[in-house]
Amino acid sequence: MSQLATRLAHQLAPRPEEQRWLIESLWADQAVGIVGGEPKCCKSFLALDVAVAVASGAPCLRRFTTVRRGPVLLFAAEDALHIVRSRLEGIAQAAGVSFEQLAIHVITVPTLRIDLEADRRRLRDTVAQIAPRLLVLDPFVRLHRVDENLASEVAPLLAYLREIQRRHETAVLLVHHSRKGGHARAGQALRGSSELHAWGDSNLYLRRLHDDRILLAVEHRAAAALPTLALELAGDGQAVALNVIDSNPPPESSRPTPVERVFEALAEAPTSMTRRALRETCRIRASTVGDALADLLNSGRIVEDDQGYRLPPS
């Protein structure tokens, strides 16, 4: 009879604090996780900044120390290869490192589907050959054709990526989209199944404010989270990159009000929404939804019809 290998708890090898990070306070060593956020909030720029930091050893975002340097394997499904090159070159220039010496291996095939066994095998073999310290896949929606809302379909894809992480001792960074609207925790806004939020060891969430600042929230499974950071996308000439502009949590006034949350939910909805649907989407009380709807109706920003509430015709 075969049995599983076991070891007494005190016999498990400890790990020094300095070896627990890939990028100190930002991404744990060999962690799987998500860079999430709404469209156009610089998720890809952040993922590429992490890639340049790991490949070069330079501080990520010019602020966070890279603890473990090594090769990076990158698949950017939504950007043309010349755009990927231009962004990486600009970030390298901003970081003060040689672009030509970056060990960032870019997968150049037009498509990669981790719900297909043939593509899973090709990715697994590529990871085995390059032995990257970090695997970046951007974005998740272009890596499959399953229903993201069904845990039974999403879980096997995440399990496959976890298997790559464990077998090859590499970190895995997955770029994924978030829904708009109010949520108590940023991870709850990730589009699709809650499996995505639960999967991550280190997660980074981005949100753009009305003044074009970008807020970065950091979440770890086994470490304390950082205070919310404010970022900006800036640069001189080609060296366009994200930079930390302060290290303080944003003021309360910068967070979306209930009126803004209800309006954003209606702006995203393809059809009219009922009060109940708005309450569930925005995660706010029925009375608060009612007050927000009254405000939006009085100002003419929305209209009411037989099915609920919607934006007026253009």
Q: Is the preceding omega at residue 139 within 30 degrees of 0, hence cis?
A: yes
pLDDT tier at 210 (50, 70, 90 boundaries)? confident
Has this prediction a pTM greater than 0.95? no
pLDDT higher than 60, residue 112: yes
CATH topology of domain 23-251: Rossmann fold (3.40.50)
| Pairwise pLDDT comparison (158 vs 247), residue with the higher score | 158
Instruction: Supply the DSSP symbol for 252.
Output: G
pLDDT at 256: 73
Query: What are the pLDDT digits (tens) for 38-92?
Result: 888 999 999 999 999 999 999 999 999 999 999 999 999 999 999 999 999 999 9
Q: Which residue did the predictor score with more confidence, 93 or 300?
A: 93
How far out from the chain centre does Cα 261 lie?
21
* CATH number at 256-310: 1.10.10.10
Q: What is the pLDDT of residue 252?
A: 45
- The more confidently predicted of residues 206 and 213 is 206
- The pLDDT score that the predictor gives to residue 125 is 98
User: Using CA atoms, how far apart are residues 42 and 214, in angstroms rounded to an integer?
Assistant: 8
Instruction: Return the ∠ at Cα 146 (arms to 142 and 147), rounded to 5°.
Output: 110
Q: What is the pLDDT of residues 97-108, one digit of tens each?
A: 999 999 999 999
> What is residue 180's predicted lDDT score, i.e. its pLDDT?
67
Express each pLDDT in 36-51 by its tens digit.
Answer: 998 889 999 999 999 9
The full set of domain ranges for the chain reads 23-251, 256-310
The length of the chain, given as a count of residues: 314
Per the prediction, the chain carries an average pLDDT of 90
Fold match between domain 23-251 and domain 256-310: no
Q: Quote the pLDDT of residue 153.
A: 96
Site of tokens 């990257």: 132
